[in-house]
Amino acid sequence: MLADPDIWRDQKPTPTDWRVRWRLFRNRLLAEPKFQRWAAKTPLIKRVASKKATELHHLTAGFVYTQTLTAVVQSNMLAVLQGRIESTRSVAAMCGLSLAATQTLLTAAQALKLTEEVSKGFWMVGELGASVLGNPAVADMVKHHAVLYRDLCDPLGVLKHREKTGLRDYWSYVPGGRHPDEGHREYSQLMSSSLALIADHILDTYPLKGYQTLVDVAGGTGHFARAVKKRYPELAAHVLDLPEVVSEAKRLHPHSDIGFVATDMFRSSLPQHVELFSLIRVLHDHDDEPVLNLLNRLHGALRPGGHLLIAEPMAGTRGAEPIGDTYFSLYLWAMGSGRPRTARELQTMCLAAGFSGVREFKTPIPALTRVLVAEKAL
């Protein structure tokens, strides 16, 4: 059961607050057809009206945009165009599509900056397409999203019946899911590839120079631990995760110099007198009660003066609200566990667990991840 989110937030404003009165007036005005017609014809204002109309269309058409990206990934179109220029006919042959279908997809993808027509009938990878090629995790997430999209075909049904989603069965650690064995490898691949996007950001933000050991909690197949070892080869890195994940990690990396320990972070005994624990994209996957329990356990297992490194996308991130507050809210709800939290909420929970202080370190791209470091008092 999730705790009431309002306990972590300021008291809501009263209807007499001038900000509330202004927004109520604004909303009444914007909903009025007569005002909409006037705004569309009035100089200066019509530019704002046009922008708002486009934003509204993006909301209604967003599913088509994501499916366009899915078709580009499934057809292998970006790989076909990587590093070269190809004709529409050539792309059609290599992607296994008709000429008309290829033209449709190339044109749709160009509007999303995935492809670019450099001259009539000749194409190359677009600006965002190049970013997709440079981040394999994007393609992995697109493939994985097929599970989420099936759930969100009935979004109200998901909100009413959280316990009956396909996404709940996908992740091996979600309580109540069926956890098919064949999903573990796909899960491990997705976690590893997506961590590649943020590991360097975390280590650039909070260098680990001076630490002797790291215990990465729920560290999967060890991608973050390997990124740490690459920068700090003398640092001893250990990964704790579920037995099935540890087995997969040992299969993939049989000669790794990282220590893998099969454990349940909520119930099994933890290593004691630890210098540095890390939780990389872990807390937002779990409800408030188990998170508070875990924070208490980690605090008890740290040595005096030890640190807990928390890195994950957070709600309320300025300029990235649709990522933390929309995408992750619906995703985690469909997953059946967890919720995105603000930095302030996480700081409050750490303090409640006994940590003496919590500091945020500014990351290069807060939309992808933010970093908090909590300290145990000496």
DSSP secondary structure string, 52-95?
Answer: HHHHHHHHHHHHHHHHHHHHHHHHTHHHHHTTS-EEHHHHHHHH
Q: Which amino acid is at 123?
A: W
For the cut 60, the answer to whether the pLDDT of residue 5 exceeds it is no
Q: How do residues 151-206 score in pLDDT, each as one tens digit?
A: 999 999 999 998 888 888 777 666 665 555 545 556 566 666 678 778 999 999 99
Q: How do residues 37-51 score in pLDDT, each as one tens digit?
A: 777 778 777 777 677
> How many CB atoms are located within 10 Å of the residue 154 CB?
12
Residue 1's pLDDT is what? 34
- Phi, psi at 55, each rounded to 5°: -60, -40
Q: Give the CA angle between residues 28, 30, 36 to the nearest 5°.
A: 130
Residue 3's pLDDT is what? 44
With b for 16 or more beta-carbon neighbours within 10 A and e for fewer, the 223-243 pattern comes to bbbbbbbeebeebebbbbbbe
Its CATH class, for the domain covering 193-375, is alpha beta
- 8 Å CB contact between 125 and 78: yes
- Phi, psi at 274, each rounded to 5°: -80, 140
pLDDT band at 7 (very low <50, low <70, confident <90, very high): very low
- Taking the alpha carbons of 307, 308, 312, 315 in that order, is the dihedral positive or negative? negative
For the cut 90, the answer to whether the pLDDT of residue 232 exceeds it is yes
For the cut 70, the answer to whether the pLDDT of residue 339 exceeds it is yes
pLDDT band at 134 (very low <50, low <70, confident <90, very high): confident
- 8 Å CB contact between 110 and 126: yes
The two domains 33-133 and 193-375 share their CATH topology (first three levels equal): no
For the cut 50, the answer to whether the pLDDT of residue 113 exceeds it is yes
**pLDDT: which is higher, 40 or 327:** 327
Residue 40's pLDDT is what? 75
The mean per-residue pLDDT over the stretch 121-131 comes to 96
Residue 13's pLDDT is what? 65
Q: Is 124 exposed, middle or buried (0-12, 13-18, 19+ CB in 10 A)?
A: middle
pLDDT band at 137 (very low <50, low <70, confident <90, very high): confident
The mean per-residue pLDDT over the stretch 2-24 comes to 62
Q: What percent of the chain is predicted at pLDDT more than 90?
A: 64
Its CATH class, for the domain covering 33-133, is mainly alpha
Residue 188's pLDDT is what? 60
For the cut 80, the answer to whether the pLDDT of residue 335 exceeds it is yes
Q: How do residues 344-363 score in pLDDT, each as one tens digit?
A: 999 999 999 999 999 999 99
Sequence spans of domains, the chain: 33-133, 193-375
Q: In this predicted structure, which of 4-18, 151-165, 299-313 has the lowest mean pLDDT? A: 4-18
For the cut 50, the answer to whether the pLDDT of residue 67 exceeds it is yes
Residue 184's pLDDT is what? 52
Edge-to-edge strand list for the sheet holding 115-119: 86-87, 122-125, 115-119
For the cut 50, the answer to whether the pLDDT of residue 209 exceeds it is yes
For the cut 80, the answer to whether the pLDDT of residue 53 exceeds it is no
The mean per-residue pLDDT over the stretch 18-22 comes to 77
- 8 Å CB contact between 302 and 354: no
